[in-house]
Amino acid sequence: MPFLAWAVAFLLVPAGALLIGAFRTQDGEYTTQFIRDIFKGSSLDAYVKSIEISLITAVLGGALGFLIAYAALSPGAPRLLRPAFLTFCGVAANFGGVPLAFAFISTLGTVGMATRALDSIGLNPYDHGFTLFGFWGLVVTYLYFQIPLMIIIIAPAIDGLKAEWREAASNLGASATQYWRYVGVPVLLPSILGSMVLLFGGSFAAYATAYALTSGHIGLVPLKIGELINGNVLSDPHQAYALAFGMVIVIAVAMSIYFVLDRRASRWRRSVQ
Amino acid sequence: MSKSGWFWVAIGLLYFLLPLAATAEFSLKDGDSYSFAAYREILDDPQFRDTFFLSLKLAAVTIFVALLLFVPTVYWVHLRLPHLRPLVQFLCALPFVVPPIVLIVGILYVYNYKWVPANYLGSPYYLIPGYVVLGFPFMFFALDNAFRAIDVHTLTEASQSLGAGWTRTLLRVILPNISAGAFAGAFLTFALVMGEFTMASLALFSTFPTYINYIGQTKANPAAALTIISFGITWLALLGILLVGRRPGRTAVQVGGTH
């Protein structure tokens, strides 16, 4: 099959070559030096920062996305809203990279629209330690695609939440809190956590948005790889291969967690259909 | 919907519309008044036209290659080789684990000057193989859904008992029946290529997204105009999917890509 050939040539071979390249020097000798370097100094900092930002945006984006999705898609919501809402989420989730960074500079940059509005009521965020071009600025920007992404991923799980369960619970005298405590959350939790893991992966892999927003200076792993590849001539590309190898490991671990959670979540999905 | 429900939807809307409104305002700003000067400046820039049309061409080639690879593969998996489905599915989900930054570093490492012809190395079409791989999940899941909805076996048998060969069956019988899925995959791939910055930037090619970045370093208002144009392209692509009849709620998980 041509498809298999293509996948081998342009996906498996490059990824496999990096795996080997991470353990070799420029001269072709084998070494674990580059892998050990990952756990030191600025490389370690980059991983910590990348993982931090991915965790925060996954949890915040996941929680906000779920609340909005539940509000807009639960059985009581107007049906007309639905297709427009989901299409809009699709657009927002796919709107990323450089243009997204510029949109936020127009909004929350030093002279952005929201900054000026907040300034006029005496709450200029830049007077309170916020900057769009740092860690929390990046978090706010990433949420722009994380929240709609969460809505798209979690929508099927919310659709699977049967109205009968709620009715049965309230017929048996359960309060809204009890319904959520004993029915809603246990059913949805694997889906919610699984979706958050996917958000984690998406934000861990992101390059363009952070690059455009911080001119490459924020020190996340993807930006460090980019810098090593075509920034500094003296730098060793094998250092970049080791960092890339580390990225694949982190995402692979995240994806394994996702599969475990997704299997748990699918128990309910099957019984629903 | 409850009051708190409306509250959350309203917060969401505000968060998503505000950056667009701010960018639109910024792109129209011309000193103290408003005009389309920034848009005119962009449209008159020959570099805009070059990079924009280059990205269009790359998108077209990527879509063509991806359809060529996937339509027969998914057809065959549904018809004869269902046991290969886990393998194909795994390979198509792999780009989620191997992000664009890693993929392009790997491609640059393997396909280098030592054995790739120099004229291909210097051509932006060097990006095509990677773009096709990035589009794997979109193309596969869109087509797979479309194939699930039709009865592949009956259609194939009917076509062949009427004397059609494999090519004829695929092009005249199967393709029209899965065209909605093919279009959905094509539109998602289109949005992907028109916004892909990471790979183009690392391989040092000037495409539309790297042009947007370049303008952003030098001119603020035209950069805002380009952002609006780019957003419009994403809208068109997603609207296209809606028009060809696929529910956006079932869109394959869209992680990675242009971020």
Q: Are residues B6 and B126 in the same domain?
A: no
Q: Do A113 and B18 touch (CB under 8 A)?
A: yes
Q: Do A13 and B1 touch (CB under 8 A)?
A: no
Q: What is the mean pLDDT of residues B165-170?
A: 84
Measure the CA–CA gap between B42 and A50, rounded to whole angstroms: 35
pLDDT at B252 over 70: no
Q: What is the CATH number of the domain that holds B121?
A: 1.10.3720.10
pLDDT at B197 over 90: yes
Residue A200 inside a domain? The answer is: yes
A contacts of B105 (beta carbons < 8 Å): 14, 18, 225, 229, 240-241, 244
pLDDT at A273 over 60: no
* Domain of B18, in residue numbers: 1-35
Measure the CA–CA gap between B142 and A273, rounded to whole angstroms: 21
B225-244: burial string, b at 16+ Cβ within 10 Å, e else: bbbbbbbebbbebbebbbee
Q: What is the mean pLDDT of residues A94-103?
A: 88
Q: Do B1 and A198 touch (CB under 8 A)?
A: no
Residue A8 inside a domain? The answer is: no
B contacts of A86 (beta carbons < 8 Å): 247-249
Report how many domains make up chain A. 1
The torsion defined by the Cα of A150, A156, A157 and A162, in degrees rounded to 10, comes to 140
Q: Give residue-wise pLDDT tens across range A125-152.
A: 888 888 888 889 999 999 999 999 999 8
A118 touches chain B (CB under 8 A): no
Q: Are residues B143 and B62 in the same domain?
A: yes
Measure the CA–CA gap between B110 and B126, rounded to whole angstroms: 12
Q: What is the mean pLDDT of residues B113-130?
A: 88
Which pLDDT belongs to residue B107?
93
Q: Tokens for B259? A: 């971020």
Q: Are residues B71 and B16 in the same domain?
A: no
DSSP letter for each residue of B223-239: HHHHHHHHHHHHHHHHH
pLDDT band at B250 (very low <50, low <70, confident <90, very high): very low
Specify which residues B33 forms β-bridges with.
Answer: B30
Q: Are residues B25 and B41 in the same domain?
A: no
Q: Are residues B144 and B240 in the same domain?
A: yes
Measure the CA–CA gap between B136 and B144, rounded to whole angstroms: 12
Which pLDDT belongs to residue B49?
92
A250 touches chain B (CB under 8 A): no
In contact, B55 and B193? CB cutoff 8 Å: yes
Burial of B118 (0-12, 13-18, 19+ CB in 10 A): exposed
pLDDT at A77 over 50: yes
Calculate the alpha carbon distances from A160 to A39, A188, B37 in Å.
Answer: 43, 9, 50
- Look over chain A and give the mean of its residue pLDDT values, rounded to a whole number: 86
Residue B71 inside a domain? The answer is: yes
pLDDT band at B53 (very low <50, low <70, confident <90, very high): very high
pLDDT at B54 over 90: yes
Measure the CA–CA gap between A237 and A255, rounded to whole angstroms: 27
Q: How many residues does chain B have?
A: 259
Q: What is the CATH number of the domain that holds A78?
A: 1.10.3720.10
Q: Are residues B2 and B46 in the same domain?
A: no
The interface predicted TM-score (ipTM) is: 0.87
Q: Are residues B64 and B90 in the same domain?
A: yes
A63 touches chain B (CB under 8 A): no
* Domain of A114, in residue numbers: 42-272
Q: Are residues B21 and B9 in the same domain?
A: yes
Report which secondary-structure segment, H or E, holds A113.
Answer: helix A113-120
Which pLDDT belongs to residue B1?
63
Per DSSP, the three-state class of B30 is strand
Q: Are residues B9 and B83 in the same domain?
A: no
Q: Do A205 and B259 touch (CB under 8 A)?
A: yes
Measure the CA–CA gap between B59 and B240, rounded to whole angstroms: 15
pLDDT at B126 over 70: yes
> Nearest Cβ partner of B97 from A152, A212, A252?
A252
Q: Are residues B7 and B113 in the same domain?
A: no
